[in-house]
């Protein structure tokens, strides 16, 4: 992954900032850079399979981060046991049927409102 990001830096003349632990353990095929396109779409396609994202922090400067889950940023290495458990937990949650929404009541009792008297004139 680091080599691909370095090649992108050189090709598009941009700065790509990241912590080593964010991309640690990830690898890309050698032909990853053979895809043409603008820098941001290529960077997005490069990071997406690893659940990574980027943020443009300045003109021609990008920061690579893990995707946010709730309020925390989570970065899992592809071979971690936590990654396996998370994947199976998410798959199990997605396999469960969504609870049906019950029909709304056909009538609602509404009490009539009483006219109010104001101590001042109303136009």
Query: Domains, the chain, ranges and CATH?
Result: 2-92 (3.55.50)
51-75 tens-digit pLDDT: 999 999 999 999 999 877 654 444 5
* pLDDT score at 117: 67
* pLDDT score at 85: 46
Contact 63, 71 (CB under 8 A): no
In which residue ranges of the chain is pLDDT below 70? Answer: 30, 69-113, 115-123
Q: Report CA torsion sign: 59, 62, 63, 65.
A: positive
What are the CA-CA distances from residue 10 to residues 7, 55, 60 (Å)? Answer: 5, 19, 12
Question: Phi and psi of 101, rounded to 5°?
Answer: -90, 130
Contact 17, 64 (CB under 8 A): yes
pTM, full prediction: 0.52
Q: Where are the alpha helices (DSSP H) in 13-95?
A: 20-23, 39-47, 81-95
């Amino acid at each position: 992954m680091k080599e691909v990001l370095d090649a992108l830096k050189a090709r598009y003349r941009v700065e790509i900032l990241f912590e080593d632990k964010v991309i640690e353990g990830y690898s890309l095929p050698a032909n990853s850079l053979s895809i043409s396109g603008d820098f941001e779409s290529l960077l997005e396609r490069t990071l997406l399979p690893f659940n990574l994202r980027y943020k443009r922090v300045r003109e021609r400067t990008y920061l690579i981060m893990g995707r946010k889950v709730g309020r925390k940023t989570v970065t899992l290495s592809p071979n971690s046991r936590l990654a396996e458990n998370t994947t199976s937990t998410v798959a199990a949650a997605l396999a469960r049927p969504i609870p049906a929404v019950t029909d709304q009541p056909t009538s609602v009792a509404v009490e009539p409102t009483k006219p109010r008297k104001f101590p001042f004139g109303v136009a």
